């Protein structure tokens, strides 16, 4: 028996704005471009959650993907989907909602609840060209 990696994919849509309050409008525009737009912008995010472990001898599963999916929905997707990441999400309060910071916050949300295997990677795709991976 060896270690396997299994991934569940989920989606959410959300709005955000990248903006540092203590900076001038000009500085924000220079650093964040359109992402600093005052009236927000949105993305269709794709989230990949990968766990690692050894398959159970009876089920052949590392984790029941239904259970993992429910956990991701409850702890992450239901809180983010159709919300404003700067304002509406308890676990992102006071956090600049860059994809790097979002992915690390998602790790914190999920990691304590993963039983019988280990959280390995969280990957968040923001656009066709931009994504981030976090390994804890
Ligand atoms: Ni954005």
Please give the distance, rounded to the nearest whole angstrom, from the Cα atom of residue 35 to the centre of ligand 1. Answer: 5
> Which segments within 17-75 are labelled E, that is strand?
41-53
Distance between Cα 120 and ligand 1 center (Å): 25
Contact criterion met (CB below 8 Å) for 103 and 91: no
φ, ψ of residue 127 to 5 degrees: the values are -140, 175
pLDDT in tens, 75-99: 999 999 999 999 999 999 999 999 9
pLDDT at res. 136: 96
Question: What's residue 123's pLDDT?
Answer: 98
* Distance from the alpha carbon of residue 113 to the mean position of ligand 1, in angstroms: 28
Q: What is the mean pLDDT of residues 101-121?
A: 97
- pLDDT, tens digit (0-9, with 9 covering 90-100), for 13-66: 999 999 999 999 999 999 999 999 989 999 999 999 999 999 999 999 999 999
CA distance 117 to 119: 7
Residues with CB under 5 A from ligand 1 (ion): 35
| CATH 3.30.479.10 at 4-16+44-134, yes or no | yes
Q: What is the pLDDT of residue 1?
A: 67
């Amino acid at each position: 028996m060896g270690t396997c990696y299994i991934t569940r994919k989920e989606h959410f849509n959300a709005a955000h704005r990248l903006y540092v309050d203590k900076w001038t409008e000009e500085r924000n525009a220079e650093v964040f471009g359109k992402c600093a737009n005052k009236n927000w912008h949105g993305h269709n995010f794709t989230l990949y959650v990968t766990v690692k472990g050894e398959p159970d001898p009876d089920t052949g599963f590392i984790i029941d993907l239904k259970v993992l999916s429910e956990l991701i929905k409850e702890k992450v997707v239901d809180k983010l989907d159709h919300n404003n990441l700067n304002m509406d999400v308890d676990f992102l309060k006071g956090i600049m909602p860059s994809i790097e910071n979002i992915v690390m916050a998602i790790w914190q949300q999920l990691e304590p609840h993963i039983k019988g295997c280990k959280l390995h990677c969280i990957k968040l795709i923001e656009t066709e060209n931009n994504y981030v991976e976090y390994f804890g």
